[in-house]
Amino acid sequence: MIALLSNVTVGSLALQTEKSLGEKVLVLPGFDTWKAGLLNPKSPLWRNDVEIICLVLHGPALFPEGMDARFADVLSEPLRILSQARAERGNKTFVVSTLDLPSSPALPLAGRDFAVQAGAWWRAELEKMDLPVLDLRELAAEAGRKHFYSAKMWYYGALPFSRLGENLLAREILRVVGAVRGGRRKCLVLDLDNTLWGGAIGEEGLQGIELSSSGTGSRYRDAQRVAKELAEQGVLLAISSKNNMKDALAPFREHPHMLLKEEDFVKIKTNWEPKPANIAAIARELNIGLDSLVFIDDNPVEREAVRLALPEVAVPDFPSDTSRLPAFMAEVARTCFTALRVEDEDRGKTEMYRAESKREEERNVHLSLSGYLASLGMVLDLHPLRRDEIARAAQLTQKTNQFNLTVRRYTEAEIAAMLQDASVRIWMAALRDRFGDYGRIGLAAARLSPTRSAVIGTFLMSCRVMGRGVDDAILSGVEQALAGEGVTAIFGEYRAAARNDPVRGFWEEKGYAQAEVTPEGSLWVLRAPFEKRNTAVQYAVQSSGLSEEEIRGHIK
């Protein structure tokens, strides 16, 4: 559940948000009670079912007597309250709006504009606190203040937003909540002709397509810029186009105004097969779910074919007026690919998938799987989770589906709270081999009990490293670390979910015995002594907390 706080009346906004989210939104009783709610230890905000607290502040209401150079004194109080509440309730995620502060109508042409400075100061302070931001100011700017606000509703009921303003805010809250919960899609599949450029490359040739740095052809270049930015933030780009490969690649290789390059794409399908077949193949080859894909194509027939055959794929309507193409791409980016933040693994994702192609080539030269795995030279860094890795840990729990034994999703706030729990142990796993760095690909969490037992309630791993013995290396490291703390019985949980059936038999395969059948799945146990597991993966020195001698002998 989310809670919606504000310094103005937001009852109707909460109702709009409930419709968008499909779940109940908590609003505190009374008017402008958000400060008291955050400071009250018995506030309903601290109920266990409240995971996200969204604070939407109406800027002018913070300055009822007007604004002057002392604006920071006024704004410091809500920041202090936020900081205190956040420190005391580390398991909640706080989302805070920017301030839309209209400049004074009596502002002289020369002089300081306190409204502009106050809005910028507030945004900078939110960034220092590393808080997720709901950009109310930008929403108002895009819609226009005359349309975003309602003077009549403000004076009648302290409700500043118009019906349009509330709808836009509800949509933005939905987008931000989705990002906090890890609802970002992973791959953008693009058509080529009349999508990335104007015209058909196979018919009009390189010089005949519409693509330029100015004039009408620049709309395609500007749209490409959005796709390029998404790729730099970890979104995978792919192509599905009915074209000959030679014709399709010519603009990427030779056209002077092409922003996107061939190396920006992880998969290129240019053939005469049906688009649904190509898109399904892209998902299969990347080992991601169809619900991770977004497909953009100017042809309504192709879009409808994909919608019917692959309903999990998001297929937005292409604009009939292509001057709107850059704005359309920006909207797709906002609605489908918003991330809470961008990690190092995200920035290097395209290169990671290219390295994977090299590994596949290496696989083809080996007669046995064991020979292939040994040739990779995999090195695992398994270590207790650091505070600077909390964001990546939350991201892994939210995005990993197939190799995820319990599919428990955690926000950053919840993982930060787990780190403060003396009975919880969390490990991060990073992997590299001779072809490159996979990044941080695995996470395990266990809770210790006074009876010298431990329950592994989270065990997950990126599907990119499945089938290579990495799971054995992670599990063995976790088992040895728990044994070092005197644990004599390790319980492993499995909870069935929509897409984690590939690991249904994981614990039994690892030698665990079934201890209990639960409504959600099952519980398995392994008792000491915990034997070291064989795998081609080597440990990085000191990565597991073992001594260098133990590491060298641990996995062969």
Q: pLDDT at residue 544 above 70?
A: no
Please state, for a pLDDT cut of 90, what percent of the chain lies above it. 63
Query: So what's the pLDDT on residue 554?
Result: 36
The pLDDT-based confidence of 546 (bands split at 50, 70, 90) is very low
Where in the chain are all domains bearing CATH 3.40.50.1000?
Answer: 187-336
- Quick check: 510 and 526 in contact, CB under 8 A? yes
Q: Which CATH architecture has domain 361-554?
A: 3-Layer(aba) Sandwich (3.40)
Distances, alpha carbon 372 to alpha carbons 242, 244, 364, 476, in Å: 36, 34, 9, 22
The pLDDT-based confidence of 306 (bands split at 50, 70, 90) is very high
Q: pLDDT at residue 435 above 70?
A: yes
Where in the chain are all domains bearing CATH 3.40.50.1110?
Answer: 2-180
Superfamily of domain 187-336: HAD superfamily/HAD-like (3.40.50.1000)
Average of per-residue pLDDT across 444-465: 94
Separation CA 536–CA 375 (nearest Å): 9
- Quick check: 494 and 525 in contact, CB under 8 A? no
Where in the chain are all domains bearing CATH 3.40.630.30?
Answer: 361-554
Q: pLDDT at residue 334 above 80?
A: yes
pTM above 0.85, yes or no: no
Distances, alpha carbon 304 to alpha carbons 241, 295, 308, in Å: 15, 11, 6
For 367-390, what is each residue's pLDDT tens digit?
Answer: 788 888 888 899 999 999 999 999
For 152-210, what is each residue's pLDDT tens digit?
Answer: 988 888 899 999 999 999 999 998 888 888 778 999 999 999 999 999 998 888 888 99
Q: pLDDT at residue 336 above 60?
A: yes
Superfamily of domain 2-180: SGNH hydrolase (3.40.50.1110)
The pLDDT-based confidence of 243 (bands split at 50, 70, 90) is very high
Separation CA 195–CA 189 (nearest Å): 11
Query: So what's the pLDDT on residue 113?
Result: 82
Q: pLDDT at residue 479 above 70?
A: yes
The pLDDT-based confidence of 107 (bands split at 50, 70, 90) is low
Query: So what's the pLDDT on residue 108?
Result: 63
DSSP-based three-state secondary structure for 489: strand
The pLDDT-based confidence of 553 (bands split at 50, 70, 90) is very low
Query: So what's the pLDDT on residue 514?
Result: 95
Query: So what's the pLDDT on residue 339?
Result: 81
- Encoding tokens for residue 169? 């805010």
Q: Please count the helices (runs of H) and the strands (runs of E) in the chain.
A: 22, 17
CA 349 to chain centre: 13
